[in-house]
Amino acid sequence: MHETLIQYINAHTSHPLTESEQEIVRTIFTPRRIRKRQYFLQEGEVCRYMGFIVKGALRQYSVDDKGNEHIVRLYLENWWAGDRESFVMLTPSIYNIDAWEDTDILTLTKASSLEFDSIPALNELARKLDEKHSMAFLKRINSAISQPVEQRYAELAKTYPEFLQRFPQHIIASYLGVTKETLSRVRTQALKK
């Protein structure tokens, strides 16, 4: 599993990892298997791990007072999963993260993340991930408050077509902030075009 992460780091940074840095990566990232429907994080827990997904799919969501799930993030291979606020601030999470498929993940603790300082490629990767996360977050908020659902669905289908293949309609509907019936109508209209 570590080879997938090492290849990912080398592909996304300007300085490939040296052999000794690769060994540090193998040491600080711990392999873990999460079975379908098993939690990576539960609401009320402090997020003790960030994870790099080698294989599988996760979803991050909150549950309202009526028991409705509100999907805020979907994760697939080569994505990083975790509640960043809880991880950094050591505060209880308001989210659940569970496996939608059996998932192989490499986890990193906060203490182990301090090793990043000694590896230029990991520092560069962390900076790039922060920048991408910030841009994606703003784009998602703008989309949610200003675009009709048809446009949000079309953008999702264009940007992340694998989401539509790997997650069922009710998960996609929640991610888009609409009902299953609305999503069904939008999908039907999109197919007619």
Residue with tokens 């703003």: 138
- Residues 2-119, CATH architecture: Sandwich (2.60)
The alpha carbon of 90 is separated from its chain's Cα centroid by a whole number of angstroms, namely: 19
Could you give the CA distance from residue 9 to residue 121 in angstroms, rounded to a whole number? 7
**Cβ neighbours for 16, distance < 8 A, ≥ 6 positions apart:** 10, 121
- What is the value of pTM for the model shown? 0.90
* pLDDT tens per residue, range 63-87: 999 999 999 999 999 999 999 999 9
Q: Is the CB of residue 84 less than 8 Å from the CB of residue 48?
A: no
Provide the token pair at 39.
């939690």
Q: What are the boundaries of each domain within the chain?
A: 2-119
* pLDDT tens per residue, range 102-132: 999 999 999 888 877 789 999 999 999 999 9
